[in-house]
Amino acid sequence: MRSLLILFLALITLCAQADENWYAKHYQTQTKGQLVSIQPEPRTEIYVGKSRQEDNINMLEQGYDLMGTSSFEAADVPPEQALAHGKEIKADKVLVYVTKSRKKTPIGQMEFIREARKSGKELTEKDFQDVPNYRYYASYWAKLPSPLLGLHVIKLVPKDVDIAPEEGVNVIAVIQGSPAAQAGLQKGDVLLALDGKAVNRPEELAVLVGELQGRSVPMEILRDGEKKTLQAQINQR
């Protein structure tokens, strides 16, 4: 009974904290600059995510970019909190993932006590043995303007420091309907050069695309071990 009393005393001390929005409290932005939607007042929508990696690629291909994420463990937290935070930061879409956690955290127990108090339920020590605990994750997305080229790339670096990185950058997503998509670029390609200039870092690609606005330029790629050249008409802003 002593442990039960301690938990109730802690609840009284942290009652204000228990009423906080868990998704807002644990939110971390993805980039240094504040990413915003093309809509001044977007109509925020919430979805149940399936596979985080596949969902992320799908969102990138649809022309969205990641604003930030929330990740925490707790007892029952309503999805309305994720939606409310999405509206607050003006996200277009929110993807929520919830899985059962094997461990019980103090925060999760506090949330369990709070819900019991709201319903008028009296708790026993046995109740705390059955406290449900979940792992929550939410990603927040903003719809971006039409891209200049329309691809997302990463640079793969070998774990062995003695092995030199391969040339080019790996294409992880191609935005639907973009100049890159119209040129025939595909996820899984390796972009080697743009307009004859080597591309070995994402930052180099961003600078080149900005300089080549409005031009039709060749893209040298590697696909399934074979070099190809595609022609892309870069947009202009």
Say if residue 45's pLDDT is above 70.
Answer: yes
Partners of residue 191 on adjacent β-strands: 169, 221
The residue among 151, 163, 168, 174 whose CA lies nearest residue 227 is 168
Contact between 203 and 155 (Cβ < 8 Å): no
- Go through the domains of the chain in sequence order and give each one's CATH number: 2-143 (no CATH), 151-233 (2.30.42.10)
Q: What is the pLDDT of residues 163-191, one digit of tens each?
A: 656 899 999 999 999 999 999 999 999 99
Average pLDDT of the residues in 28-55: 91
Partners of residue 198 on adjacent β-strands: 193
Say if residue 114's pLDDT is above 80.
Answer: no
Tell me which DSSP letter residue 78 carries: -
pTM: 0.78
Q: In this prediction, what percent of the chain has a pLDDT beyond 70?
A: 76
Interatomic CA distance for residues 211 and 97, integer angstroms: 40
pLDDT band at 7 (very low <50, low <70, confident <90, very high): very low
Contact between 152 and 171 (Cβ < 8 Å): yes
